[in-house]
Structure 1
C-alpha cells in the first residue's frame, strides 16, 4: 500500500470521527456540532481531491478484471 492510500485511510477515519462528533453534539451544543460538521466537509473535499488526482488509469483497471 502506498503513502497516498495510507493518507486517504487516515483522512477517512478522521472524517467518520468528526461526523460522529457532529451527530453526538447535535442535541447538546449546536455550535460544536456545526464546527465538527464543517471540519468533516473540509476533510471530505480533500479526500475527493486525492481520489480524483490519484485514481488508477482506466487501462490499468481493465487489466485487473
Structure 2
C-alpha cells in the first residue's frame, strides 16, 4: 500500500467519525447542550485534521504529476 492509499483510508475513517459526531451533536442539542457542544468541538477538531490530510493528498498528487 502506498502513501496516498494510506492517507485516503485514514481520511475515510475520520470522515465517518466526523459524521457520527455531527449527528450526536444534533441529537443532543435538545436534551443536553453540554454534550452537544463537546461533540461539536470534537467534530470541528476532526474536520481540521481532514482538511490537513486533504492538503497532503493534494500535495502528493501534484508532485506525482
5+ residue gaps, structure 2, are: none
5+ residue gaps, structure 1, are: 61-65
Name the TM-score, length of structure 2 as normaliser.
0.85
C-alpha separation in 2, matches of 1:38 and 1:23:
12
Shift of 1:59: 7.7
Two-structure CA RMSD over aligned residues (Å): 1.7
| Deviation >4 Å, runs of 4+ | none
Deviations 1:13-52 (A, max 9, x none): 0000000000000000000000000000000000000101
Select the structure that is richer in helix.
2
C-alpha separation in 1, matches of 2:64 and 2:10:
25
Shift of 1:2: 1.0
Between the two proteins, the alignment pairs up a number of residues equal to 60
